[in-house]
Amino acid sequence: MLQVLVIEDDVLIGMLLSRILAGMGHEVIGVEGTEEGAVTAATRRRPGLILVDGRLRGGSGQGALRRILDSGFIPHIWMSGDPADRTRQRPGVLVLQKPFTEQVLALAIAQVCVDAAVMSDRSA
């Protein structure tokens, strides 16, 4: 089970992701729609996984993620309805194109967790 922070400005999508993640056995520790809210939530709870949308009501997903990762790596998945986001992300960032299925989300979570474990082993 992972503690997951969802950074998503669309309330309905945030609620849907929360239900899906809970159904997968994960604990959603927050759904934040602003950069400041996301940074505050991540600082308070230090999630094991972050799902990030690019567009937020206040600030941006990229800004939030950059600030959160300044204090240490957390596995994360970028979610976007904009196909151009794939080309704007740095190499190695997993991007899910909205809309995506529950199965695709489960595979993405497994992949970023494996990648994070490999990174951790390399730095040890």
**What are the pLDDT digits (tens) for 7-21?**
999 999 999 999 999
Q: What percentage of the chain reaches a pLDDT higher than 70? A: 89
Condensed to tens digits (0 to 9), the pLDDT of residues 53-99 reads 988 988 999 999 999 999 998 999 999 887 666 545 555 678 899 99
Among the listed residues 103, 118, 101, 115, the one whose alpha carbon sits nearest the alpha carbon of residue 49: 115
State the pLDDT at residue 58.
87
Condensed to tens digits (0 to 9), the pLDDT of residues 100-112 reads 999 999 999 999 9
Laid out side by side, the sheet with 76-80 consists of 27-32, 3-7, 49-53, 76-80, 94-97
For the segment(s) 3-123, the CATH number from 3.40.50.2300, 3.40.50.150, 3.90.1200.10, 3.40.50.720 is 3.40.50.2300
- Domain residue limits, the chain: 3-123
Q: What is the pTM of this model?
A: 0.91
CA–CA separation, 115 vs 19, rounded Å?
A: 25
